[in-house]
Amino acid sequence: MRKILLERTKIGEFLSMEAFCNIEDVDLIIYSVDVASNCVFKKDEWEEFVKNVNRINETYQLIAKEKI
């Protein structure tokens, strides 16, 4: 059974995203004006993806504080 994790949500002037899941995977869709990108992750891939996005965000936050 497919469940909604995030209804289509605007994240920028021309960007939006939504996410769904079932028992086996997570489906992340990112929309822009010109194209949509759909990524389907198995559970272990999703966990690795989130871990790396969090790591990117932590580094970005440090850089943003330095205003470099």
Render pLDDT for 2-55 as a digit per residue (tens, 0 to 9).
999 999 999 999 999 999 999 999 999 999 999 999 999 999 999 999 999 999
> The pTM is what?
0.83
Domain count, the chain: 1
Compute the C-alpha angle 63/14/26, nearest 5°. Answer: 75
The number of C-alpha atoms within 13 Å of 42 and in the hemisphere containing its C-beta is 2
Domain residues for the domain of 34 are 3-66
Please give the Cα distance from 1 to 9 (Å, whole number).
22
